[in-house]
Amino acid sequence: MNSIIKLSDNAASRIKEIMSSAKKNTVGLRISVKSGGCAGMSYVMEYSKQVNPNDEVIEDKGVKVYIDSAAVMYLLGTEMDYKKEDFSSTFVFNNPNETERCGCGESFKV
């Protein structure tokens, strides 16, 4: 079975760094999708203090990521990458389900 999300090596190592400095009661990183932004939907990443029973759990490259059940259909086949540039660094979602992305890259449409 294919993963909902695949993590690049850069994304996995950045998540490891983030989790190593997370508070003790944090169980992992949760990815969800919310309405908003110029194109209609945005990716949301946050610390998770508990595992929701409906979460999909992705384990890849030694990292555990929780996917909100409502986001699964929007994220199928997505690769999550982490790009570091001179003045910024960010997680990048390469999502084959996107039909449109806003100019600033903050939101998308499926």
pLDDT in tens, 14-39: 999 988 888 888 888 999 988 876 76
The C-alpha atoms of residue 32 and residue 108 are separated, in whole angstroms, by: 13
Lowest average pLDDT, out of 13-22, 51-60, 63-72, 90-99, goes to 90-99
The C-alpha atoms of residue 15 and residue 67 are separated, in whole angstroms, by: 14
CB 32 within 8 A of CB 68: yes
Domain for residue 48, yes or no?
yes
Lowest average pLDDT, out of 6-10, 35-39, 106-110, goes to 106-110
The C-alpha atoms of residue 72 and residue 25 are separated, in whole angstroms, by: 25
Domain that holds residue 27: 5-104
Domain for residue 100, yes or no?
yes
The C-alpha atoms of residue 38 and residue 52 are separated, in whole angstroms, by: 29
Check residue 108 and give its pLDDT: 60
> How many independent structural domains does the chain possess?
1
Domain for residue 110, yes or no?
no
Domain for residue 34, yes or no?
yes
Domain for residue 109, yes or no?
no
Check residue 105 and give its pLDDT: 60
Domain for residue 83, yes or no?
yes
Segment 46-73 shows an average pLDDT of 90
Residue 104's pLDDT band, with cuts at 50, 70 and 90, is low
Angle at 72 between CA 99 and CA 16, to 5 degrees: 105
Residues in the chain: 110
Strands 89-94 and 28-35 turn out to be unpaired
Check residue 81 and give its pLDDT: 93
- For residue 16, CA distances in Å to 12, 58, 102 come to 6, 14, 29
pTM: 0.81
Average pLDDT, the chain: 85
- CATH number for the domain spanning 62: value is 2.60.300.12
Check residue 1 and give its pLDDT: 46
Domain for residue 36, yes or no?
yes
